[in-house]
Structure 1
């Protein structure tokens, strides 16, 4: 009986993985990623995008969503390798979203469909890309919907 229970738990573990579940996407952050990327926005969990998206983002830092985020080649290689290694590979990251934007992915739109457009424009939020405005644990990869606090 115990052996069957253990086997069942092990068999189900990949299906219940945090990356696929989407509530807690923490992975220990690479210090260079924290230093370089989180200086301008949260260090988005790599599991939110597929590897191909992270590769394109890494290769186009001179035009990073309207900003020049250029880095030296060694740092780009290090970040690209780490992001690709930890990229999403579950159902949420099956397809690259338009323009490789997390906020344009099908799962993001589905999860936020009840948020009115005016909410994203609030001064306290500014855009859908500002996860930390509503998800207090976003910096740690925690997006649990039971802990959401939408600012006024």
Structure 2
């Protein structure tokens, strides 16, 4: 064999070993069915193996705007968002490295919803059929945006969309 082929084979074997090792480590973490919420940053339980992805999602997204629950947008929308960090609604998200994208994707794809048949992929909350399904009979502000949530959900900063302001209880 040529030296280049040997080197490529060695690199592929090394990548396979690292991937398998990572899978074993992550698999051992999943032996616990559910984890406690991350500090005060959530009321919703997530599987142990998705805690880090959720934490990275909250750290990256809630620094500029309210982090929304994954199910509000379909998996396809989250994929589009994560694949284009240098064009996030016209803003460049610096510092999101591939490893963090993968961890966020594992969390978001697990807890988001599939797009429905004949549903156009929503780009914004205001286009999400799920958002409106969660708010039947509620006069939501127009335009609907991630900042609208604060009006009704007093603990959004803790990623708690279940607690409502007194007006809505």
> What is the TM-score of this pair, normalised by structure 1?
0.58
Question: Equivalent residue for 2:128?
Answer: 105
2:78 maps to 1:78: no
2:151 maps to 1:128: no
1:22-69 deviations in Å (ceiling 9; x for gaps): xxx834462211211111112211121221111111001111112112
Which structure 1 segments of 5+ residues have no match?
A: 1-24, 121-126
CA 1:107–1:81 in 2, change beyond 3 Å: closer, same or farther? Answer: closer
The alignment covers a number of residue pairs equal to 115
Whether the 8 Å contact between 2:79 and 2:105 is mirrored in structure 1 is yes
Whether the 8 Å contact between 1:51 and 1:87 is mirrored in structure 2 is yes
- Output the CA distance in 1 between the equivalents of 2:120 and 2:166: 24
2:81 maps to 1:57: yes
Larger Rg: 2
Q: CA-atom RMSD, angstroms?
A: 3.2
CA 1:115–1:79 in 2, change beyond 3 Å: closer, same or farther? Answer: closer
Which structure 2 segments of 5+ residues have no match?
A: 1-42
